Amino acid sequence: MEASLDNWSHHEQFKAMIKTFRDALQPSLTEATVKDLRNNSDDAIARWLESVDGMRFVFQGIQSRGVKAEAALGLAARPSVIGAFISGMAALALYWIAFGGLESAKPEIITNDIVDLEYGVIGALSDSLLTSDRRLKAIHHAIKRGLDGRARWFARAVERGPDAA
């Protein structure tokens, strides 16, 4: 646990990472794109990631890790952890470009963004993992229904009492 906590305590390094992504993306964005990011952030970020610019950015990011072009293209075009991570880092950078404030943001906030990004990557990739494994898909469905059902039960229990839920 101590080693894990140590890894997540380098707040200034995480902020520098997001700045690097922001600085790499910002010059290529038009004023209209930044305005779109600001007005429609979720959809606009997704549109950018789906665009040729987004594909190129993810591909080049993977390639910069020493991956050969053909493999980098596959990792960028299909579900992969590295492709999802670079996409997520780009999405964070696009968000900070749209809304500003990165320079004055507390480094701990940026660390939290990156911790949250891990969950985003896992969630984004889980869907594609589930579609290829029938048993896992059934288990996922059961877990999700169980979570939803327990939430409904709890809401009823709070409203009517546990015995009437």
Q: Do residues 97 and 90 touch, judged by C-beta distance below 8 A?
A: no
Confidence at residue 163, expressed as pLDDT on a 0 to 100 scale: 81
C-alpha to C-alpha distance for 53 and 59, rounded to whole angstroms: 10
Read off the pLDDT of each residue in 98-103 and give the average, rounded to a whole number: 91
CB of 75 closer than 8 Å to CB of 67: yes
Are 85 and 11 in contact by the 8 Å Cβ rule? The answer is no
Read off the pLDDT of each residue in 83-103 and give the average, rounded to a whole number. 92
Indicate if the pLDDT at residue 4 is higher than 70. no
Query: Is the confidence at residue 93, as pLDDT, over 90?
Result: yes
Among 23, 30, 21, 80, residue whose Cα is nearest residue 51: 30
Residue 142: band (very low, low, confident or very high) from pLDDT cuts 50, 70, 90: confident
DSSP conformation letters of 90-108? HHHHHHHHHH--TTTS-HH
pLDDT at residue 161, as a whole number: 85
